[in-house]
Amino acid sequence: MDEGVIHEKTYINELDYTEVKAEKAGEAFCETIDLMKRGAPLIYQGCIQIERNGILYRGRPDLLERREGLSCFGNWHYAPIEIKSSSKIKPLHKHQLNFYSIILEELQDVLPQDMGVINRHQTRLQYLASHEDYQKTKTLSEEILAVMRGNKPLSTITSKSKNSPWFKMALREAKDNRDISLVYKLDSRSLEILRGIGIKTLDELVCVEVDSLPKIPYASPDKLQRAQLQAKALIQDSIIPLETAPELPDHQLKLYFDIEGNPLLDIDYLFGIWVSGDPNRLYAPKNNSRFYEGEESYFVYFLAEHPNEENSMWKAFLEWVAVLPDEYSVFHYANYEKTHLKKLSERYCGSEALEAFQNNLIDLQNVVEQSAIFPLHFYSIKDLAKSRFINFKWRHQKAGGGQSVFWYDQWLATGDKAILEDIVNYNEDDVRATAALFQSLKLIGSKVV
């Protein structure tokens, strides 16, 4: 389940509301209008719609909140409220609220003035839309209608678009056209300028002289040169090693580290470590280690089965860190582990051993960037590890950080130990994948030498 859905369910559990339960849109719309006519104080998952020029405009606001003020329903009208897992109101949220308000204006003869977003901290953020805001939303609506009429937009392949129901189709089309949108981390605003000067394909990007180009917004010459290498890797379908690859430490004891956390509960509930280079199992706690026949490496984990056990988990982790030797390396992927170790040390306590552990952290995301260009469109740990170059497989098909949060929420609700096992298995697979990535980077580094 998506993190946003979990946040929404958590928030509404504290509210007194009337839910629109009809599943079919037409029935849900009739039910919503009936509740609005009766003046229901708070409507959850209502359905609102209007028809203009043969086009049906329909939306399902998270909440419709009754406000004082005359409308066709009586001495009240409604304003939309959205529940979001972000900390602030984003442009897309504004478009969504504006769209709902435009529909509501026609339904109730009043344009809502005061809308809002419930953020990840369950704080209400007020949104007052201006005339310019509404015009932007109307322009966007016209652009969407143009696409529906056959005016195909230019490709934009980003990590955010992965959640789109059209992502696979858009990716396939971009590949067929060898479109420059396939290049990792090439800003969409840069894409527009590059296309405008005739650079539309991977081949055209590879062949262009970067120094001859005009200034490209959001793309420095260095970024464009890296984009050229990315395009070349995609065309060749092979890894391009870089001479900037750092020399990785080669301590006997290597720890591959990953933290699972729930941002909505503001807790970290699982620390997982894949331990390599300890054949005598000197650093394997008795009750929270996993060993495998034929493997020298093993898995260590620290788990807070309930949110109020985070401190106990932290203390157990500090005790384990205190017995580690003077020399070792800790590999992780992306910044979460570094920032959350700091956060937990400030929340509870730290130690000299923890400082040593933090000083030994090596972010493989940075190492990847300096070591190689992969023929991939995204560089998350899962994109890299699942690629044919590493070919690591997670045990659970839906494995992901958001899924782990959902599982933890389910575990708290049901107490089902099988769910807890899924959480730990997923974390173990994450640290094993980090180890597999490390080995792949070492191999790439040897080729550069």
417 or 413, which is more confident? 417
pTM: 0.79
Q: Distance (Å, rounded) from C-alpha 407 to C-alpha 92? A: 28
pLDDT for the residue 162: 78
- Would the pLDDT of 447 be above 70? no
- Would the pLDDT of 445 be above 90? no
Average confidence score pLDDT of the chain: 92
- Would the pLDDT of 7 be above 80? no
Identify the band that residue 144 occupies on the pLDDT scale cut at 50, 70 and 90: confident
Least confident among 32-46, 188-202, 328-342 = 188-202
pLDDT for the residue 240: 95
Q: Taking the domains of the chain in order of start, what are their residue ranges?
A: 3-148, 160-237, 254-448
Encode pLDDT of 14-66 as tens digits.
889 999 999 899 999 999 999 999 999 999 999 999 999 889 999 999 999 99
- Would the pLDDT of 163 be above 90? no
pLDDT for the residue 446: 66
- Would the pLDDT of 116 be above 80? yes
CATH T-level assignment (fold) for domain 160-237:
DNA polymerase; domain 1 (1.10.150)
pLDDT for the residue 1: 45
Both structure tokens of 412: 């708290």
Entry field: residues in the chain: 449
Identify the band that residue 413 occupies on the pLDDT scale cut at 50, 70 and 90: confident
C-alpha closest to that of 336 among 380, 283, 302: 380
Residue with tokens 């959640």: 163
CATH 3.30.420 at 254-448, yes or no: yes
Q: Distance (Å, rounded) from C-alpha 35 to C-alpha 65? A: 11
Encode pLDDT of 350-390 as tens digits.
999 999 999 999 999 999 999 999 999 999 999 999 999 99
Q: Distance (Å, rounded) from C-alpha 51 to C-alpha 144? A: 16
pLDDT for the residue 131: 93
Identify the band that residue 143 occupies on the pLDDT scale cut at 50, 70 and 90: confident
Above pLDDT 90, what percent of the chain?
77
Strand partners, 257: 273
4 or 189, which is more confident? 189
Both structure tokens of 262: 């729930």
Average pLDDT on 122-129 reads 93
131 or 159, which is more confident? 131
pLDDT for the residue 69: 92
Strand partners, 300: 273, 289
- Would the pLDDT of 416 be above 80? yes
Average pLDDT on 202-208 reads 95
- Would the pLDDT of 183 be above 70? yes
Cβ atoms 171, 157 nearer than 8 A: yes
pLDDT for the residue 449: 40
Q: Distance (Å, rounded) from C-alpha 404 to C-alpha 417? A: 14
Sheet of 254-262, strand order: 289-290, 298-303, 267-276, 254-262, 329-332, 361-363
Strand partners, 271: 259, 302
Identify the band that residue 239 occupies on the pLDDT scale cut at 50, 70 and 90: very high
Above pLDDT 70, what percent of the chain?
98
pLDDT for the residue 158: 78
